[in-house]
Amino acid sequence: NEIYRNGSISVFEVDGNRSLTYCQNLCLLAKLFLDHKNLYYDVEPFLFYVLTECDEHGCHPVAFFSKEKVSVMDYNLACILTLPPYQRRGYGRFLIALSYELSRLEGKAGTPERPFSD
């Protein structure tokens, strides 16, 4: 589900229950860059928001964040990763702002899980 598009940037919402292998692969990719990442296979309770850059060849993932579908603590962000070649372009800040906007639309205050990713 594409939920945002502006120029060559798109964001897709991916349900961990419906796209199990894709979301597991996102988690395994994140593990390469985040030492403390420990969730790889239990992705069903999460939604993933994948930021892509689109060109004539398609949309290519550059960053993502995940959040629990149902969070007792009203967390709006569980894990966030921007791939190294795409860092320092504001994508992380954009995804954090998107997580707060999604919480606002859901009528929740929302806050990221602690500790925040390095």
Residues with a known catalytic role: 113
State the DSSP H helix or E strand holding residue 30, giving kind and residue range, or none if neither: helix 20-31
DSSP assigned state of 109: -
Instruction: Provide the token pair at 50.
Output: 């994948």
How many Cβ atoms from other residues are within 10 Å of residue 2's Cβ?
12
